Amino acid sequence: MIKLVLLDIDGVLTDGKVTVDSKGNEYKTICYKDIDAIFQMKRQNLLVGLVTGEATPITDFFKERFNPDFFYSGCKDKCVALKDILSKSGISVENVCYVGDSKHDLAIMKQVKCSACPSNAITEVKELAEIKLAARGGEGCVWELLEWIIKNQEKNGIE
């Protein structure tokens, strides 16, 4: 049973693109469906974590906007974040689903029981992921994962 959903930000919550203005300010887009999914996960009593290799004002925005149970920015070794989360929460890797899209996500995906990726993830990630989402990163893939979790928990008699 999944108790914790860990999400990469760039390429999962966003489409992995960044717009930069002449002053160096970054802009990213996020799908309302995925915003709703994060809050719905919390209502479903799932813990939510965001783990990103970036450390910018926009990552701080995501932390404030979503108030995740766990948040790691500037985290290049996501396995370190996973170890810390497991230690603090008492949750087993058997109960973690990680969603990633790039080579930086491969190591953590190998450690968790359940891994997922958006349809535009790199080939290595697609080959490794248990759940291959139809939606692209930043285009509803988090909502699609939530639907998968709910369906599988209901199928297994878990509420």
Tell me: the pLDDT tens digits for 18-55? 999 999 888 999 999 999 999 999 999 999 999 999 99
Local confidence band at 155 (pLDDT 50, 70, 90 cut-offs): confident
CA atoms within 13 Å, Cβ hemisphere of 111: 17
Please give the mean pLDDT across all residues of the chain. Answer: 95
Domain boundaries, the chain: 4-17+26-155
pTM exceeding the 0.75 threshold for the entire prediction: yes
Structure confidence at residue 113 (pLDDT): 92
Strands of 4-155 (E only): list them.
4-7, 19-20, 26-27, 47-51, 70-72, 96-99, 114-117, 131-132
CB 133 within 8 A of CB 116: yes
Distance CA 24, CA 22 (A): 6
Q: By percentage, how much of the chain surpasses pLDDT 90?
A: 91
User: Does residue 158 carry a pLDDT above 50?
Assistant: no
CA atoms within 13 Å, Cβ hemisphere of 133: 30
Q: Tell me which architecture the domain covering 4-17+26-155 has in CATH.
A: 3-Layer(aba) Sandwich (3.40)
